[in-house]
Amino acid sequence: MFYSGVIEGFYGRPWSGAQRVEMLDWIKASGLNVFAYAPKDDIKIRARWRELYDEREAKSLADLAQAAKARGVALMGAVSPCLDIRHGDPGEVEALKRKLGQLDALGMRLFVLLFDDVPSVLGAEDQRLFPSFAAAQTHVANAAHDFVKGLGPDRKLFFCPTEYCGRMAGGDVRRSAYLNEIGARLAPGIEIFWTGPEIVSAEITAQSLHEVAQVLRRKPVIWENFHANDYDIRRVHLGPLGGRRNDIVTEISGFITNPNNEFEADFPAVHTLGQFLNGVSYDETTALSATCRAWRPRFRYASSDKARLLDQDQIELLADLLYQPFQPGPRSRDIVATARRLLAEAHASETLNWKRGLATIHDFLKRVSKLFDDLTEIGNRDLFYTFQPYLWECREELLTLTHYLDWLATKPAKDAHFPHHDRLPNTYRQGFAQALQQLLQRDPNGHYTHESRVL
Ligand code: GDL
């Protein structure tokens, strides 16, 4: 079986039960087959992994399992014992089995042991018992594997290693002692997650996956962080899955995406993944259009005319403004390029070309403002609240830019100040985090440098 779907595997506020059921619908409609319940901040997955779910929690997971079953989607449960487990203590393995047994009793058939984001040092007792970190982890995972297999032949165990991307493996996976040992020691029936060369990978190539498969002695299952945003909560990603070509599909045994924290923002991540995995060839632009068409019914006005939806083009504009982790959408990119040209050629403000550029930016502002205003009127308030802060910023910055360019067109004196009265000076996007960020200077490529300069 090829495992495809979604993992709720991010840090931060988990989704609600109702959102998960809707997610199951999206998964099914996109031709995918797995939902992994693995929120990092479900306290009983990670911090207090030994504790069983209480009656109320168990009921909500059992309901989810039933909803998944009704849709033909497999529900994966997670345990992340990695923060404090004593790998060599039989009592710990028993606690893990008890937890997996509970997940199984609630209706789950797929399970994942998460060993990501942990200190890779063994406690003193484990150091005495195991020759390495990989040996300790595989001891636990193989025992868990035997246990779940004993529950029934349709059970399957997944494993997220501590080095789950190329960078963590030191750049060259073939030379990672840890991954080689995991590949050799982990029972062959266990699937292994892999996020690509990076935690959030701009590109994942077939060649790189081929190498990973040789080291792991099995094809990896992609844990996709392309649309995740828990590491940069000022952004949200609505663009199509990108930087992956169809030729990777034969190099993997599954592809499961860990998307934005904001549930309503995740339709594009799921829908474009469906197109990527189920289509013959994948084109990002075409995929996004199809996604926006399928997404459109969610953008229904709250007015008496219940059939009225936002325009397809407006939804495409929304996705373009809040696009991918490594690049803005094509329309937004063009606007930035136009603005850069106008700013560089301010002295040419009387030429037709300059005026045309300014008109393009004015027009874009108008469309973004209308998108914002129209979104305020849609019935699905969660959807609106999800995008409100991001769109507010886009609109505000575009407004300032157009005012600034209009002012440049008046040929202000060299030492004149831009008269922006609509905003308090120095109150925009301030705060401690920004102050810290500004201490370390970066070049336009995001590389930190430390040239001689006065702080
Ligand atoms: C990670 C975490 C994941 C998080 C993601 C993006 C894996 C295997 N683990 O490192 O929980 O959401 O980065 O920040 O990706």
* 252's tokens: 């993997």
Contacts of 203 (CB under 8 A, 6+ apart): 196, 197, 243, 244
Average pLDDT on 214-243 reads 97
Predicted confidence (pLDDT) at residue 223 exceeds the cutoff of 60 = yes
Sign of CA dihedral 187, 188, 191, 196: positive
Closest CA relative to residue 191, chosen from 288, 132, 281, 112: 112
Calpha distance 294→275 (Å, rounded): 12
Identify the DSSP state of 15: P
Coil, strand or helix at 35: strand
Q: Is 443 a catalytic residue?
A: no
More confident of the two residues 50 and 436: 50
DSSP 406-427: HHHHT---TTPPP---SS-TT-
Average pLDDT on 210-219 reads 98
pLDDT tens, residue by residue, 169-191: 999 999 999 999 999 999 999 99
Which H helix or E strand runs over 223? Answer: strand 221-224
Residue to mutate, 37, 83, 116, 233, ligand 1, most ligand atoms under 8 Å from C-beta: 116
pLDDT at position 454, please? Answer: 46
Q: What is the 3-class SS of 97-128, one letter each residue?
A: HHHHHHHHHCCCCEEEEECCCCCCCCCHHHHH
Tell me the CATH number of domain 3-297, given options 3.20.20.80, 3.90.226.10, 2.60.120.1130, 3.90.550.10: 3.20.20.80
pLDDT tens, residue by residue, 162-172: 999 999 999 99
Predicted confidence (pLDDT) at residue 453 exceeds the cutoff of 70 = no
CATH 1.20.58.240 holds for 300-455:
yes
Closest CA relative to residue 315, chosen from 264, 358, 279, 242: 264
Predicted confidence (pLDDT) at residue 414 exceeds the cutoff of 90 = no
CA of 224 to the centre of ligand 1 (A): 9
Average pLDDT on 342-346 reads 88
CA of 199 to the centre of ligand 1 (A): 7
The answer to whether the beta carbons of residues 277 and 256 sit under 8 Å apart is no
CA of 231 to the centre of ligand 1 (A): 8
Confidence of residue 350 (pLDDT cuts 50, 70, 90): confident
Take atom 11 of ligand 1 and give the residue whose Cα is closest. Answer: 10
Calpha distance 111→148 (Å, rounded): 8
Coil, strand or helix at 152: coil
Closest CA relative to residue 370, chosen from 386, 352, 394, 349: 394
Give the best-scoring range by mean pLDDT among 271-280, 343-352, 414-423: 271-280
Calpha distance 185→358 (Å, rounded): 63
Catalytic one among 63, 117, 230, 374?
117
The answer to whether the beta carbons of residues 103 and 111 sit under 8 Å apart is yes
**pTM of this structure:** 0.95
The residue ranges of every structural domain in the chain are 3-297, 300-455
CA of 153 to the centre of ligand 1 (A): 30
pLDDT tens, residue by residue, 23-33: 999 999 999 99
CA of 118 to the centre of ligand 1 (A): 12
CA of 179 to the centre of ligand 1 (A): 18
Residue to mutate, 7, 8, 10, 256, ligand 1, most ligand atoms under 8 Å from C-beta: 10
pLDDT at position 455, please? Answer: 43
Calpha distance 233→416 (Å, rounded): 36
Take atom 10 of ligand 1 and give the residue whose Cα is closest. Answer: 199
Calpha distance 106→330 (Å, rounded): 46
Q: Ligand 1: which residues within 6 Å by Cβ?
A: 9-11, 40, 116-117, 160, 164, 195, 199, 223, 225, 228, 230-231, 258
Closest CA relative to residue 371, chosen from 445, 297, 427, 320: 320
Calpha distance 449→367 (Å, rounded): 38
Residue to mutate, 8, 11, 160, ligand 1, most ligand atoms under 8 Å from C-beta: 11
Take atom 14 of ligand 1 and give the residue whose Cα is closest. Answer: 231
Take atom 9 of ligand 1 and give the residue whose Cα is closest. Answer: 116
Sign of CA dihedral 337, 443, 392, 271: positive
